[in-house]
Structure 1
Amino acid sequence: MELHLIRHPRPDVPAGVCYGQSDVGLAEAPDAVAARLRPILPARFVLHASPLTRARLLAAELGSPLLDDRLKEMHFGEWELRPYAELGPAIDTWVTDPMGFRAPGGESAHDMSERVLQWLDALLANAPADPVVVVAHGGPLRAIAGHLLGIPAERWLSLDFACGHAARLDVEEWGVVLKWFNR
């Protein structure tokens, strides 16, 4: 299966603000990002997307997406829309346990990855004949790519998906090949 992973366009959020599942707007026009991506995508594909506006608007420019809540970004609870500088020493705890830490009222990266990988398992169990394009967020895309490539979860943060860019993985019976990243 040919799998294209696209991170949403740049959000309209000040630098240094935690936005997770907050439904923020875009600082980049989704039609312009879609026009730039179309030449590197296959002519036909099955399209999946997060329902959050920043992913959904780009996906709608690319086709008719199947929206799935499991593709949403990590929920940061009380940290949503707060500057990281205001979060105090809790940030240090997050740094020491990036997969297990949970912001108050939110979910951990482990929780987020479990729901995303449930989505991936369902996709792989019923893999369509056509290529698959996914428009989502940095966290879920790291979980998908990291898992498929066999990267330990604590290293998934090293997969830095750029806003408005795509990666391609070919999922074969014998393994997964990263064809390109951040195009």
Structure 2
Amino acid sequence: MEIYLIRHTTPAVERGICYGFADIDVAPTFETEAARVKGLLPDKPLVVYSSPLQRCRKLATYLFSNNFTTDDRLKELNFGEWEMKRWDDLGPDALQKWMDDFVYVRVPGGESYIDLRDRAVAVLNEVISKGKDAVLVTHSGIIRALLAHVSGTPLEKSFERRTEYGRVACLKVVNGAIEIDFYNS
């Protein structure tokens, strides 16, 4: 069984803005980036799940028409009160407190990285239980958390793995064991 993890294409948001749950549109480079992703996917039946945020939904629609299901658990980290604010405007104390333990400290009005990891792993386990090749069109946080889970990497180190916009990773499930087949293609 194969599970493809696809990060959305470049979002239409200014650099330096904190966003996660915000429903941001895609950048004008969408068609080019989406066509590249399409060329990386196998020509076989896939069960497709997508974050409901438009930057993922648009890519899922481009790749699979309307043959996908949205799942709120595939959303990016909920940055709560920080959503759509400039990182520089959050204040050094608030930001440092979170950065010191982002795995467990919740963003004000939002969630922690462990919260995101738990919902991501729940989706992964459900997909695996269905036993069919699948695609998750989602966000960097979800993909990093899943790759950390599969590889046994501590969440604190998961950001050492870059996940570029419009890139694909593939997990293979063989006899109940999950491994990373490829990453960032």
What is the DSSP-based 3-state SS (H/G/I as helix, E as strand, rest coil) of the residue aligned with 1:141?
helix
Q: CA RMSD in A?
A: 1.5
Query: Hey, what's the Cα distance between the residues in 1 that align with 2:179 and 2:116?
Result: 24
Which runs of 5 or more residues in structure 2 are unaligned? none
Which one of the candidate residues 87, 90, 94 is aligned to 1:87? 90
Which one of the candidate residues 70, 75, 91 is aligned to 1:72? 75
Query: Hey, what's the Cα distance between the residues in 2 that align with 1:37 and 1:138?
Result: 15
% identical aligned pairs: 38
Query: Hey, what's the Cα distance between the residues in 2 that align with 1:181 and 1:139?
Result: 14
What is the DSSP-based 3-state SS (H/G/I as helix, E as strand, rest coil) of the residue aligned with 2:173?
strand
The range that moved more, 172-181 or 38-47, is: 172-181
Which aligned pairs between 1:40-55 and structure 2 lie closer than 5 A?
Answer: 40-44=40-44, 45-55=46-56
- Per-residue deviation, residues 3-54 of structure 1 (Å, max 9, x unmatched): 2111101111111110110001111444332211222211122211100000
Alpha-carbon shift at residue 126 of structure 1 (Å): 1.6
Task: Tell me if structure 1 keeps the 8 A contact 2:120–2:142.
Answer: yes
Task: Tell me if structure 2 keeps the 8 A contact 1:33–1:58.
Answer: no
**Which residue identity does 1:123 align to in structure 2?**
V
**Which residue identity does 1:7 align to in structure 2?**
R
Matched residue pairs, number?
Answer: 181
Alpha-carbon shift at residue 62 of structure 1 (Å): 0.8
Which aligned pairs between 1:108-119 and structure 2 lie closer than 5 A?
Answer: 108-119=112-123
Where does residue 101 of structure 2 map in the other structure? 97
Alpha-carbon shift at residue 103 of structure 1 (Å): 1.5
Task: Tell me if structure 2 keeps the 8 A contact 1:78–1:106.
Answer: yes
Which runs of 5 or more residues in structure 1 are unaligned? none
Which aligned pairs between 1:162-181 and structure 2 lie closer than 5 A?
Answer: 162-173=164-175, 175-181=177-183
